[in-house]
Structure 1
Amino acid sequence: MFHKVKDVAALPDMRLSVQFANGTTKLYDVAPLLKRFDAFRALGEGRTFEDVVVDPGGYGVSWNDDVDLSCDELWEHGEEIRTEFDGLMSFADASELWGLSESTLRKAVSYGKIVPGVDARKFGKQWIVTRQAMFREYGEPVGA
């Protein structure tokens, strides 16, 4: 299954905090790569490490044209951590993961299938839903 990266942040000690579209957050230690691969050594110079960005489409993260990490590497070798935001995802991400339209999810809220204020909540124009509610109502994500 494709584990789409939604956000990344550089942390002290050459670690990354990586948020995935399914609501999971993982810590990934980049330090061992500096010793193993010449291309990664540049990350230890100046503020280069802090320049990490999510690749278009969420297929990984990169610093420049020479240094990047795939979403699979981050998912498989990252250490899952608990945060207050675990299990939360946007309707757009949930729609993509479960192969549904966002209107289907909005209708599920209006019909009480997904309970507003319990399973989902609107913040401004953005709906957020719990992973637990999605599994309860729609089963496993498509392609899982």
Structure 2
Amino acid sequence: MEINLNDPNIMDAGDASQIWGHAKNYVRRTYKSNPSKFPQGSIRKFGKQWIVTTEGMEAITGVKDPRRNEISIKR
């Protein structure tokens, strides 16, 4: 399986938190308190950096990717 690190569905947890309208530490706090909310393979820590997928964010927030709305509006 090839992974494209330029995929916009893979993002820094702090940036993802802000995209979904939460504090920068939202993903880290949520993972520490309830790791089972994240689908398998949707979050990972690399050194000190947390990386999360769109799927993971949608699972913990219950909100679809807000960037999709921006794309629809721009068209």
Structure with the higher fraction of residues in helix conformation: 2
Query: CA separation in 2, counterparts of 1:107 and 1:96?
Result: 14
Flag as ranges the 4+ runs of structure 1 deviating above 6 A: none
Q: What amino acid is the match of 1:114?
A: F
List runs of 5+ in structure 2 lacking aligned partners. 70-75
Equivalent of residue 10 in structure 2, options 57, 63, 88? 88
Structure with the higher fraction of residues in strand conformation: 1
Give the alignment's Cα RMSD to 1 decimal.
2.4
**1:125 aligned partner:** 48
Larger Rg, first or second structure (1 or 2): 1
| Higher-RCO chain (CA-CA 8 Å, sequence separation at least 6) | 2
Query: CA separation in 1, counterparts of 2:18 and 2:47?
Result: 21
Paired positions, count: 61
Using the TM superposition, give the Cα deviation of residue 124 of structure 1 relative to its aligned residue in structure 2, in angstroms: 1.5
Using the TM superposition, give the Cα deviation of residue 102 of structure 1 relative to its aligned residue in structure 2, in angstroms: 2.9
**TM norm structure 1:** 0.36
Instruction: Please give the per-residue CA displacement for 1:81-107, whole angstroms capped at 9, x wherever unaligned.
Output: xx6222200012101210111322112
